[in-house]
Amino acid sequence: MTTDSPTPDTGAELLPIATPARTRAALRTLIRPDRGLALTGLGILVGATVVGLLVQPLLGRIVDIVADGRPAGDLTLPVVLLVAVAVVQGLTTMLGLTRIARLGETVLARLRERFVERALNLPADRLERAGAGDLTARVTGDVARVAEAVRSALPEMARSVLAILLTLGALALLDVRFLLAALLAVPVQLLTARWYVRRALTLYADQRVANGAQQQQLLETIGGAVTVRGHRLEEQHTERSAGRSRKAVDLTMRSVNLVLGFYGRLHIAEYIGLAAVLIAGFWLVRDGAVSIGTATAAALYFHSLFGPVNAALVLLDDAQSAAAGLARLVGVTDLAEQPEPEAGKPEAGKPTAGKPEAGKAAPASVPRQRIASSEAAVTVHAVSHAYGPGRPVLHEVSLTLEPGEHVALVGTSGAGKSTLARIVAGVQQPTAGTVTSPAGGGSAPAGAGEHPVVLVTQEVHVFTGSLAEDLRLARPEATDADLRAALATVHALDWAEALPDGLGTVVGEGGHRLDPARAQQLALARLVLADPALAVLDEATAEAGSAGARVLERSAEAALDGRTALVVAHRLTQAVAADRVVVLEAGRVVESGPHDELRDADGPYAALWRAWSGSRTAAPHP
């Protein structure tokens, strides 16, 4: 179960935050595979703590030997035992903490993998409503805070809690009255912990949200710097950034004051408890109930509690901050979880955008044949979609793509083309209606690979690494010959082999820079390697500019050859080459048919064609 996170003044609908109960359940799920490691580590720490508790009685024994005026030789055994206790405790503590740290790192790695997996599958429109800052803050600050807690707070907390419990038991063994005296500090400590926890969780959650809003503002300001300067909005954006920074700083200072008050109350509890134990020791020694050495051991026991008690309570600071971060991470993983489809019931295809899974494909160098089948490859039935109340984008759109058919989506800006394309690709779910495709469990068209659908947009990311590694994201087992064949298919082999190190050339951040046209050809080559039954291109040639448009269109045609395709046409030359053109207007299908037929029908498409072609020489009709 999750709850909506507080919405800052950015207007964004932030990603949800898991409830405390759901967060605890998720944590148990993460730890469950390593229960044996957890129990072994805790068992070793218990043994180390028990051994360490022998220090105080041995010191008390030394005090009694000196107080009774015994020979110096009587000190040998207690001293040797103290050395042995130190060695054994050190070794067992190291072993126990190592196992607890291994547990923490394993759980942290599992959490990271699950978060990244779920975040990559979030609906695109949900991410857009939340803004990049919220997800960025979670994947950086929240993950770092949880990691810090796992690496330092978890082992120390385990050791401190064990030390507290076993030390209180040792006080009771000396004399139960020592334990009762020590417990006078507990009410103050409990009230302090309660006072802190009730304030810290909300404060740290607000702090994380404020940091996300601050990052979102910085991302928007920097990303839109040209527009900001063009409209002389520097002062307004600077003030917004400063305002959100002030809010983040204010919350940070509130957390500092909270921690200072927390420490002050803990010191009061320490003085109360130590004074009570010393007074109890004085009375018991005076009455002959215990020896001076026993009273000394009791005082040392309570003094030894200062460290673990303070550590445990202070670690509440890290625990609360980590809990707030974990709740935000679990909120994302829960949001992305989708119920399993019922047996035999098709569902919308899952996309392979940017980083497709491994799949077996036919060699790219083998020419494909158009698929002929009476079974529809994709059926869109009464699909509607809205990005919020009163913001409808699609209205009961129905569409069928036959196997091997190429359909071009055209329409004015805002008609809903990209939204429909992403719904067909499975990137986002429709508000109403259904989409069935080869991804839904039905049989894929003959000759198709294991990837049911691949989406290629105009926003192509070139991953950091060699060109070969970037291509193998689509099919990790692909040979160099497969990679060259895919590049040749999209007419990119010549420039790829002309790079400084050929397929071994490092591209992406810090590597060889690929221009937009070449980056898009790289994405199309990945599509060829993935070999999907259905390909969705969303203005995939838009970034090339006029000079590279024709080259990219040839590359796209080659990549789509033999497979079912839905193409959001940036240029109407793509509509000319398509088997069928579907015209969207205000989220509705208003025309559908071949290019020639629609061009001569003097309807919406004919108007678009005249407006687009203008003085251009139209591409020859197929």
User: Model confidence at 70, in pLDDT bands (50, 70, 90)?
Assistant: confident
438 Rama class: left (phi>0) / alpha (psi -120 to 50) / beta = alpha
Cα angle 527-531-371, degrees, rounded to a multiple of 5: 120
Model pLDDT, residue 442: 38
Q: Which residue has 């050395």 as its token pair?
A: 83
Average pLDDT over residues 325-334: 78
pLDDT band with cut points at 50, 70 and 90 for residue 493: very high
**pLDDT at residue 416 above 80?**
yes
Place of tokens 């990837």: 451
Alpha helices in 121-224 (DSSP H): 124-130, 132-137, 143-148, 154-174, 176-182, 186-223
Predicted confidence band of residue 336 (pLDDT cuts 50, 70, 90): low
Residue 122 vs residue 182, higher pLDDT: 182
Predicted local confidence at residue 354, as pLDDT: 36
For the segment 101-117, what is each residue's pLDDT rounded down to a tens digit?
788 788 778 877 877 77
Lowest mean pLDDT among 5-14, 257-266, 558-567, 593-602: 5-14
Q: Residue 545 has what pLDDT?
A: 55
Regarding predicted confidence, which is higher, 152 or 77?
77
Strands 465-466 and 506-507: antiparallel
Q: CA–CA separation, 554 vs 539, rounded Å? A: 14
**Helix extents (H) in 224-291:** 225-230, 234-286
Q: Sorting pLDDT into bands at 50, 70 and 90, what band is 439?
A: very low
Please give the backbone phi and psi of residue 438, each rounded to the nearest 5 degrees, phi first.
-60, -20
State pLDDT tens for residues 228-237: 666 676 777 7
Q: What is the percent of the chain with per-residue pLDDT over 70, rounded to a whole number?
A: 80
Threshold 0.85, pTM exceeds: no
Alpha-carbon dihedral sign for residues 424, 427, 431, 435: positive
More confident call, 122 vs 37: 37
Per-residue pLDDT at 518 exceeds 80: yes
Q: What is the pLDDT of residue 244?
A: 81
Query: Which of 8-22, 100-114, 121-135, 410-424 has the highest average model confidence (pLDDT)?
Result: 410-424
Following DSSP, what letter does each residue of 237-248 receive, concatenated?
HHHHHHHHHHHH
- What single letter denotes the amino acid at residue 125? D
> Among 530, 595, 603, which residue's Cα sits nearest to residue 567?
595
Question: What totals of helices (H) and strands (E) does the chain contain, helices first?
Answer: 22, 13
Q: What does the DSSP 8-state code read for residue 141? A: I
Task: Print burial letters for 517-545: b (CB count within 10 Å at least 16), e (below 16).
Answer: bbbbbbbbbbbbbbbbbbbbbbbbbbbbe
For residue 410, the cross-strand partners are 583
* Measured distance CA(374)–CA(402) in Å, rounded: 8
- pLDDT tens figures, 343-381: 333 333 333 333 333 333 333 333 333 343 444 578 888
More confident residue, 113 or 275: 275
Could you give the CA distance from residue 601 to residue 390 in angstroms, rounded to a whole number?
34
Question: For 169-216, how does the pLDDT look when each residue is reduced to its tens digit (9 = 90+)?
Answer: 888 888 889 888 888 888 888 888 788 877 776 787 777 678 777 777
Pairwise pLDDT comparison (613 vs 344), residue with the higher score: 613
**156 pLDDT more than 60:** yes
pLDDT in tens, 26-59: 777 877 888 888 888 878 888 888 887 788 888 8
Give me the pLDDT at residue 27, please.
Answer: 76
Residues 6+ apart with CB under 8 A from 596: 621
Of 615 and 601, the one with more pLDDT: 601
Identify the CA nearest to 561 among candidates 576, 546, 577: 577
Distance, in Å, from the CA atom of 350 to the CA atom of 293, rounded to the nearest integer, reads 73
Confirm if 255 and 207 have CB atoms less than 8 A apart.
yes
What is the pLDDT at residue 317? 65
Predicted pLDDT at 194:
82
Judged against a pLDDT cut of 90, whether residue 484 lies above it is answered with: yes
In the predicted structure, residue 443 carries a pLDDT above the cut 50: no
Which of the four pLDDT bands, split at 50, 70 and 90, describes residue 459? confident
Mean pLDDT over residues 460-478, rounded? 88
Check pLDDT > 60 for residue 276.
Answer: yes
pLDDT at 481: 93
Q: 153: which DSSP letter?
A: I
CA distances from 202 to 136, 190, 254, 455 (A): 20, 19, 12, 40
- The whole-number average pLDDT for the span 488-495 is 92
Give yes or no for residue 3 having a pLDDT over 70: no
- What is the C-alpha to C-alpha distance for residues 43 and 410, in angstroms, rounded to an integer? 67
Name the most confidently modeled range: 383-392, 446-455, 496-505: 496-505
Taking CA 324 as the corner, what is the angle to CA 108 and CA 326, rounded to the nearest 5 degrees?
25
DSSP annotation of 427? S
The pLDDT value recorded for residue 617 is 47
Do 330 and 26 touch, CB atoms closer than 8 A?
yes
Would strands 378-386 and 534-538 be described as parallel, antiparallel, or unpaired? Answer: unpaired
